[in-house]
Amino acid sequence: AQTVTQSQPEMSVQEAETVTLSCTYDTSESNYYLFWYKQPPSRQMILVIRQEAYKQQNATENRFSVNFQKAAKSFSLKISDSQLGDTAMYFCAFMKPLGGGTSYGKLTFGQGTILTVHP
């Protein structure tokens, strides 16, 4: 079974600065996906960024980027130029695709990190 660990229950950052959220996972699988989801006070789960395990290049989406270290089983999220709207709970998640990789699978989530961006 897979496990996902987020060791930072809470983080804070000043507006416009950079912050990094940590995530480690444990799996024996070789083919999998990793995700960061954002959950603002509205409770909506919003996909921030994803990474395929077979890709060595780190994923980037605008101000969000990841540092994927497959051997170390580490998947951190870097938020640059932090904005007040980034204030939310952030969850790291792991997915093993089914059906030889053609089908989605269930997500295993970490405990979450509450990020507060201060003006």
Binding residues (CB under 8 A) for another protein: these are 33, 35, 42-45, 47, 50, 52, 91, 95, 97-99, 102-112
What's the closest the beta carbon of residue 97 comes to another protein, in angstroms? 7
What's the closest the beta carbon of residue 84 comes to another protein, in angstroms? 22
| H/E element, 78 | strand 74-79
State which residue, 56 or 102, has the beta carbon closest to another protein: 102
State which residue, 18 or 55, has the beta carbon closest to another protein: 55
What's the closest the beta carbon of residue 29 comes to another protein, in angstroms? 14
What's the closest the beta carbon of residue 53 comes to another protein, in angstroms? 11
Closest CA to 92 of 107, 71, 106: 107
- Residue by residue, DSSP assigns 24-55 as EEE-S-SS-EEEEEEE-TT---EEEEEEETT-
- Integer angstrom CA distances of residue 90 from 37, 54, 71, 74: 6, 24, 23, 16
Q: Which two tokens stand for residue 50?
A: 């994803």
State which residue, 19 or 92, has the beta carbon closest to another protein: 92
State which residue, 16 or 47, has the beta carbon closest to another protein: 47
